Structure 1
Amino acid sequence: MLSYEEYRQYDATGLAELVRKKEASAAELLQTAIQRAESVNPQINAIIHPLYESAKATVAAESLSGPFAGVPFLVKDLGLEMKDTPLRVGCKGYTGYTSSVDSYAIQKIKAAGLVIMGKTNTPEFGLTPYTEPELFGPTLNPWNLAHSPGGSSGGSGAAVAAGIVPMATASDGGGSIRIPASCCGLFGLKPTRGRISLGPIYGEMWSGAVVESCVSRSVRDTAAYLDALAGSLSGDPYQLSNPSAAYLAELGQHPGSLRIAFSTVHPLGLPVDQACKDAVAKMAKQLSDLGHRVEEALPLPYFKEDLLERFLVVVSGESAAELQQLSKHLQRRATTADVETNTYALALLGRTFNAGDFAQAKKGWNEIAQRVAQFHQQYDLLLTPTLASRPIKIGALQNSAAEQTLLKFINSLNLGFMVKASIGQLADKAFGYIPWTPFANMTGQPSMNIPTLWTEENLPVGTMFTALQGREDLLLRLAAQLEQVMPWGDKIPDL
């Protein structure tokens, strides 16, 4: 049997090659992954729905084929439906819900030969940049257990960083691929809107902000994953043409001398952790050494109002809709007993805006896209910190006792206007940590996290590159180049 030390040396592509060459069997890989999960998951709480027996049955009963045939895999417990498995989306109101169909992405994952062995933890409805749902408890960062792995794909990020699997699904509505990738020292690429279908259950999620993909240890794994899953279904609101070449083939192409703007200016005017500034400085020097043209961008094409008046309005409205959907599932009105305090308060906020407010905010997304498109006439890529601070400590962004008491009072009386009065404070708390990631969700652009440095507390800090819509190829070429000169895949947390 393959030892864990041997298993950990390979990415998903490498493990699949072992299976193809019959140097290891899918059953051996799965057993090693299960043993690793049983060893470390009690510490990090990444897997909330083990599917070990069904995974063993898949390996035993099927002739696996595809680019990742026989590779152990995990699925985030949000968004994707997987037939005959639980789906909780971090919410106690969905206790007892079982999926009856496979989402498009799950169908493609199975066709690629990946062996799904469990589902990973996520915050309620994916609403926070940390993973601490009341239903399942917090997921901890394998690099430093006192800290968060980010969110909302924190369970997937922690599981991959801990070496349980080399790759796992992740989705991104405001940074939820790139945030855990930064916190966990992984590669995370948010694709262009519509690159991977959300069907057949959803046409779009969060008004087009949400996209599906993965977090991985290597660039080639993400490229091959995109090749396997990219596509649309009839009826999807966003239809993209297939790329001219396979994404995996792009990794062998030189990116050329790119025009890259960088900035560490916080869009809300708040402080930025020196470690995040240092990461951008390190990356800028590396890019310059590689022959790219790098200069500071002043000013950024991002404004405070974009987050407060355009993103937050839409997300709060979508949260109100989430409660309506939960009410349909429960066949009664969802109450404060069914969801977390902050979720209910955010839904109350959403109800204070009218249809015109929502439509105006959504129109603003197009204004941002046009502004950013003009910016990219001068620059190929924008480089920023992925986050405004190193990974936060567990509980750092949770409500204080006073805040919790006040919100419970507001919720009990449905006083949405009181939540609206605190919108500035809410925004500072939420976007103080993630001031850059939501913009690519509003515009639909592809954006990626590159692991860049580790702090004195052994915490990863990433940098983020954003490109024009449809230019995943450019991001992947650059990522492959950076992976060669500043490799990160061999770094392993000591659990």
Structure 2
Amino acid sequence: MNFEQYRRHDATGLAQRVSSGEVTPTELLRLAAGRAEETNSQLNAINRLLLDRAERTLSVPLSGPFAGVPFLVKDLAQDVGGEPTSMGSLAFAHTPVAEDSTFVRRADNAGLVLFGKTNTPELGLKGVTENRTFGATRNPWDRDRTPGGSSGGAAAAVAGGIVPMAGANDGGGSIRIPAAYCGLFGLRPGRGRVPVGPRFHEIWEGASSDHVLTRSVRDSAHMLDILAGPDTGAPFHVAPPERPYSEELQHAPGRLRIAFSTRSPLGAAVDPACRDAVEKTARQLEALGHTVEEAEPAIDGMALARCYLTLYFGQVAAMVTDGRPQDFELDTRALAMLGRALTSGEYVRAHQQWNHFGRTLGHFFQDHDLYLTPTTAALPARIGELETPRVEQLALRPLLRLDAGRLLMKTGVVDKLAFRSLARTPFTQLANLTGTPAMSVPLHRSTDGLPVGSQFMAPVGGEGRLLRLAAQLEQAHPWWDHLPPG
């Protein structure tokens, strides 16, 4: 098998070729590692190669539904025992973790050949994948642009042809945003569907979910069958699906009632390409027999953004206590300062509002089966475009010395930060705070040829419904042959 043949297969197809004896796992690893060596200097998708581990995996017979398929995990929460989980930060880049995460154990049991970890912004905090420790990851569709974040390394590796799928996680859009920017399928499972142990009880109050970024819908469905399910000591025991997710793809979605909106929940601008993608998707859905109407849940988008940022600030404040302050980037230290300024009561009150968002969305789903929006409000930013301006960096340093987070809070900085940091990606956080599943589907491109994603949200437990619709859309409007230039 040569690279062009490798590239034409998804993970399911490669596993079938291994099973039939047409190709060996060693050949596939050589192709994947060769592609990584060829492209990583340009894309910077992988920040740690684990070829020795892969060779040990190949030293014994492999079994499982993905036996022999090369795989990468995200360098955030997806722990590989004996290796650092850097989280894109110098603070953790040299500290090995004790054991494999449940995610990695289940990937190993499926026969996947893990040979590296993918880049992420520091602590997974940004919608771009740029950090001081490993550098910026670039989008295979346009190397001057970001692949998104925080699973940007995973998205670049899949879109760039290194692997057919890669581990990812999503605490505010970190699966769906890179999927939209890189022309991939990205499903964020609902809260607790995929356990995050054993090092973590839950991540970000359960707002974060682990899964994969893929080119095909069937790979995502098969991996969800592998990754989902109870884990000893985990806080959630989620009701199992009616049937395996891989079987959902054989069932038509039926006539769905789908609401859509292209309005930013923050009242910010939405790029015409992102609006057009949703409007075209709505027409495609009608042609497939679904009922589509313009409607949105009665949720205050700015209130939701404030609650999300309260979570964000508080979590960062807790995370930086595990490292030396000088090892964290300036932006991260500023976020932690704001987190320290929160009282416990303010944090809890913000968390309590999640119930209102979930109940409101639940009532909305009594009249609609799915909710369609743009995945993002903007096309991918250029590398470095979203860096904190130099003048603001200079202003932050004395404030950090004074630990003046409470003073900043009184100036209204939270609303300003909510608008500025989330204006480009205001549609994804609703699923995280309500614990609902959501997906980004790569149906369209901009006039410049950049991928543009459409997001669908489903009620709690609606992963199967999303996958059925995704399979229908993939068949009716295939995206498989939409590959980055060169």
* In structure 1, distance between residues paired with 2:166 and 2:407: 39
Do the aligned residues in 2 keep the contact of 1:345 with 1:419 (CA within 8 Å)? no
* In structure 2, distance between residues paired with 1:190 and 1:433: 19
Alignment partner for residue 395 of structure 1, among 384, 392, 395? 384
In the superposition, the TM-score normalised over structure 2's length comes to 0.98
* In structure 1, distance between residues paired with 2:297 and 2:329: 35
Q: Which moved more, 1:226-235 or 1:284-293?
A: 226-235
- The secondary structure found in structure 1 opposite 2:126 is coil
- The secondary structure found in structure 2 opposite 1:129 is coil
Deviation at 1:408, TM superposition (A): 2.2
Determine if the alignment matches structure 1 residue 244 to structure 2 residue 242. yes
* In structure 2, distance between residues paired with 1:211 and 1:463: 19
The one-character-per-residue Cα deviations of 1:284-335 (angstroms, maximum 9, x if unpaired) are 00000000000101x44331333343111111111111112x14xxxxxx32
Alignment partner for residue 341 of structure 1, among 330, 348, 362? 330
* In structure 1, distance between residues paired with 2:371 and 2:341: 35
Question: What aligned pairs does 1:79-94 form with structure 2 within 5 A after superposition?
Answer: 79-94=77-92
* In structure 2, distance between residues paired with 1:488 and 1:404: 42
* In structure 2, distance between residues paired with 1:369 and 1:453: 30
Determine if the alignment matches structure 1 residue 302 to structure 2 residue 299. yes
Determine if the alignment matches structure 1 residue 441 to structure 2 residue 407. no
How many residue pairs get aligned? The number is 484
Structure 1 stretches of at least 4 aligned residues deviating more than 6 Å after TM superposition: none
Read off the aligned partner of 2:34 and give its amino acid letter: Q
User: Residue 417 of structure 2 aligns with which residue?
Assistant: 426
User: Residue 350 of structure 2 aligns with which residue?
Assistant: 361
Do the aligned residues in 2 keep the contact of 1:178 with 1:386 (CA within 8 Å)? yes
* In structure 1, distance between residues paired with 2:238 and 2:297: 28
User: Residue 331 of structure 1 aligns with which residue?
Assistant: none
* In structure 2, distance between residues paired with 1:80 and 1:362: 25
Deviation at 1:54, TM superposition (A): 2.3
* In structure 2, distance between residues paired with 1:45 and 1:286: 36
* In structure 1, distance between residues paired with 2:219 and 2:14: 11
User: Residue 407 of structure 1 aligns with which residue?
Assistant: 396
The one-character-per-residue Cα deviations of 1:182-216 (angstroms, maximum 9, x if unpaired) are 01000000001101111111111111111100000
- The secondary structure found in structure 1 opposite 2:423 is helix
Question: What aligned pairs does 1:89-100 form with structure 2 within 5 A after superposition?
Answer: 89-100=87-98
Do the aligned residues in 2 keep the contact of 1:397 with 1:429 (CA within 8 Å)? no
Determine if the alignment matches structure 1 residue 20 to structure 2 residue 19. yes
Question: What aligned pairs does 1:63-462 form with structure 2 within 5 A after superposition?
Answer: 63-297=61-295, 299-324=296-321, 326-327=322-323, 334-335=324-325, 337-420=326-409, 421=411, 422-462=413-453
Q: Which moved more, 1:453-462 or 1:342-351?
A: 453-462
Do the aligned residues in 1 keep the contact of 2:84 with 2:92 (CA within 8 Å)? no
* In structure 2, distance between residues paired with 1:435 and 1:148: 17
Deviation at 1:494, TM superposition (A): 2.3
Deviation at 1:243, TM superposition (A): 1.1
* In structure 2, distance between residues paired with 1:97 and 1:435: 34
* In structure 2, distance between residues paired with 1:434 and 1:95: 28
Cα RMSD of the aligned pairs, angstroms, is 1.1
* In structure 2, distance between residues paired with 1:204 and 1:301: 28
Deviation at 1:409, TM superposition (A): 2.4
Unaligned runs of 5+ in 1: 328-333
* In structure 2, distance between residues paired with 1:425 and 1:135: 28
Do the aligned residues in 2 keep the contact of 1:46 with 1:158 (CA within 8 Å)? yes
Q: Which moved more, 1:186-195 or 1:228-237?
A: 228-237
* In structure 2, distance between residues paired with 1:150 and 1:301: 28
Do the aligned residues in 2 keep the contact of 1:192 with 1:469 (CA within 8 Å)? yes
Determine if the alignment matches structure 1 residue 7 to structure 2 residue 31. no
Do the aligned residues in 2 keep the contact of 1:26 with 1:70 (CA within 8 Å)? yes
Unaligned runs of 5+ in 2: none
Q: Which moved more, 1:113-122 or 1:485-494?
A: 485-494
- The secondary structure found in structure 1 opposite 2:71 is strand
Read off the aligned partner of 2:373 and give its amino acid letter: T
Deviation at 1:55, TM superposition (A): 1.1
